A and B are shown apart, each in its own frame.
Chain A
Amino acid sequence: MVELGLNVPSLISYLINYIILLVLLGALAYRPLLNALDNRVESIRESLAAADRAREEAATSRSAIEEELNEARREGQRLLDQAREAAERFREEEMDRARQSAEEFAERARADITRERDAAINEVRAAFGDLAITAAERIIRRTVDRQAHQELIDQVLAEGEQALRRN
């Protein structure tokens, strides 16, 4: 064996060399790198799970957003309909009110006209009565019972007025 090179100090030297390598590599290369690999595996696993969760959440929130959008759209449509109805109602009310006030105005005008006409008729009637009396006095040239004449004249005038109204 010595011819092949067997040498105890060399053997011990190689053993020490191996142990030093094992210790240094174990502490400064194997452990840190294998731990880093484990951490990476763990972080990749977590990232994939988080990505799955995020995808599910995104799908859920998307459907929720779509639902909310639809709800908002429906709400908007309802508000629009309400506004349209309110506007229509308001327009009709205003039309009614305008029509009513126009009618009231016309009624008032008609009443005013009637009153004015009645007043004018009364005035005419009074003047006509006086005129008729005066005329009659002049015609007959005698004084008659004024009260009786006046009643007679009023009766004639009333008949005349009724005849006018019928016309």
Chain B
Amino acid sequence: MTTKRVLLLIGIASAVLLIVGFVIGAVGSKMFGLEKPFVSQPGIHLPPDPVFPAAVRQDVVGYRVAEKKDEAKEDQGASAGEDEHKEEHHGLGLMQFAVTNTMLSAWLTSIIMLVFFIGGARNPKVIPSRLQALIEMLFELVLNFASSILGPEMGRRAFPVVATIFFFVLFNAWIAIFLIPIYQAVGYGANVGGEFKLATHLVRPAGTDLNMPLALALVSFVFVEYWGFRAHSFGYLKKFFAFGDILRGRPSGLINVFVGLLELVSELVRIVSFTFRLFGNMTAGEILVVMITFLVPFVATQFVFGLELLVGLIQSVIFAGLTLVFLSVAVSHEEH
């Protein structure tokens, strides 16, 4: 069978699946008066779901099941009281410990990363194996990226921290796409209105958990400030607390004080911007995937997966790149 014929068959099958997906999806089922869509309506929960211990999970899942039952009743009858549940929150408390599904995903990603990188980089050969060559290429990409911003010496020093951030963000985003069946279908079920449904996923992309980007943002922040102090010692603080001119009795020093405080605020705001940029992109991507799966299942989601691969790559480049740029500014001697 020629390649052309295979491609043609794949094209026809995709077109058929697209039409079928449209018909049995949420949009089609409404249009054609079907009983219910092929994929049930997804519930969007920003906080990650606890998986272990079981008591905490059951607590959250039990609440959600009850919430769904209420929604079902509301659909049947009056829509009064709709806002009550939306405003109410039921999840982990600020200090409450539980192993969440995003945490499991991060661990899975970490194990895959360790196996992949250590497996390929252990006992490196002069003539590399294919895996070693691939990892060398990835490392050189990041190293060249770091060196182009910081110079060869500083780029080499910053490489481990920046490369770990880059690969962790990238692998977290991509593994969730490559292992989509595990991410979307494996979890804990519950009986909702006489029907057994997936109530919570076992794993969920770690990027959709606010704590993961926040942790990376803190790492980036601490790393940048550490190198800032190392490069300029306590003189680094003059950038933020520029009281020199005021103490010398120059009124124009007020501007410097104001600029310094702005610098301080912007330094702290970076943590927030880092966090919400990654969290927002990853969460939006995940929501897009589940919504498209709900609306038009099967083929249409493939385009979203492609988009998500690109978004994951862009986010990892942005996170690593901004860390490098902030580091470059922090260690630069020109501004002091």
Q: Could you list which residues of chain A lie within 8 angstroms of chain B, going by C-beta atoms? A: 1-11, 13-15, 17-18, 20-22, 24-26, 28-30, 32-37, 39-40, 43
Indicate whether A18 sits within 8 Å of B126 (C-beta atoms), given known contacts A6-B94, A37-B139: no
The answer, among A13, A29, A39, for a CB contact under 8 Å with B103, is A13
Indicate whether A5 sits within 8 Å of B210 (C-beta atoms), given known contacts A11-B215, A25-B160: yes
Give the residue name and chain of the A residue nearest to B213 (CB).
A14
CB distance from B242 to the nearest CB of A (A): 32
Task: Contacts A9-B96, A13-B103 known; list 15 others, CB within 8 Å.
Answer: A3-B46, A6-B94, A6-B211, A7-B92, A8-B95, A9-B97, A11-B214, A11-B215, A14-B209, A17-B110, A28-B122, A29-B120, A30-B160, A30-B163, A40-B126
The 8 closest A-B pairs by CB, nearest first: A5-B47, A14-B215, A36-B124, A29-B121, A9-B97, A29-B117, A10-B211, A33-B121
The complex places the Cα of A39 from the Cα of B127 at a distance, in Å, of 12
Q: Pick 13 A–B contacts, CB within 8 A, sort by A.
A: A1-B210, A4-B279, A5-B211, A7-B94, A8-B95, A9-B97, A14-B106, A21-B114, A25-B117, A25-B160, A26-B164, A33-B135, A36-B124
Residues B215 and A15 in contact, CB atoms below 8 Å apart: yes
* Main SS class of interface, B: helix
Residues A25 and B164 in contact, CB atoms below 8 Å apart: yes
Give the residue name and chain of the A residue nearest to B114 (CB).
A24
The answer, among A11, A28, A30, A37, for a CB contact under 8 Å with B211, is A11
Tell yes or no: B118 within 8 A of A by CB: yes
* Main SS class of interface, A: helix
Q: Which residues of A contact B248 (CB under 8 A)?
A: none
Tell yes or no: B93 within 8 A of A by CB: yes
Indicate whether A22 sits within 8 Å of B46 (C-beta atoms), given known contacts A11-B215, A15-B215, A34-B139: no
Q: Across the A-B interface, how many residue pairs have beta carbons closer than 8 Å? A: 136
Q: Could you list which residues of chain B lie within 8 angstroms of chain A, going by C-beta atoms? A: 46-48, 89, 91-98, 100, 102-103, 106-107, 110, 113-114, 117-118, 120-126, 132, 135-136, 139-140, 143, 156, 159-161, 163-165, 167-168, 206, 209-212, 214-216, 218-219, 279
The complex places the Cα of A81 from the Cα of B7 at a distance, in Å, of 84
Residues A17 and B121 in contact, CB atoms below 8 Å apart: no
Residues A21 and B164 in contact, CB atoms below 8 Å apart: yes
CB distance from B209 to the nearest CB of A (A): 6
Q: Which residues of A contact B93 (CB under 8 A)?
A: 2, 7
CB distance from B134 to the nearest CB of A (A): 11
CB distance from A18 to the nearest CB of B (A): 6
Q: Which residues of B contact A34 (CB under 8 A)?
A: 139, 143, 156, 159
CB distance from B205 to the nearest CB of A (A): 13
Residues B46 and A17 in contact, CB atoms below 8 Å apart: no
Residues A6 and B163 in contact, CB atoms below 8 Å apart: no
CB distance from A52 to the nearest CB of B (A): 20
Q: Which residues of A contact B167 (CB under 8 A)?
A: 25
CB distance from B177 to the nearest CB of A (A): 20
The complex places the Cα of A29 from the Cα of B143 at a distance, in Å, of 14
The answer, among B89, B117, B140, for a CB contact under 8 Å with A2, is B89
CB distance from B54 to the nearest CB of A (A): 17
Residues A25 and B103 in contact, CB atoms below 8 Å apart: no
CB distance from A154 to the nearest CB of B (A): 123
CB distance from A46 to the nearest CB of B (A): 12
Give the residue name and chain of the B residue nearest to A37 (CB).
B136
CB distance from A44 to the nearest CB of B (A): 10
Give the residue name and chain of the A residue nearest to B98 (CB).
A9
Give the residue name and chain of the B residue nearest to A39 (CB).
B126
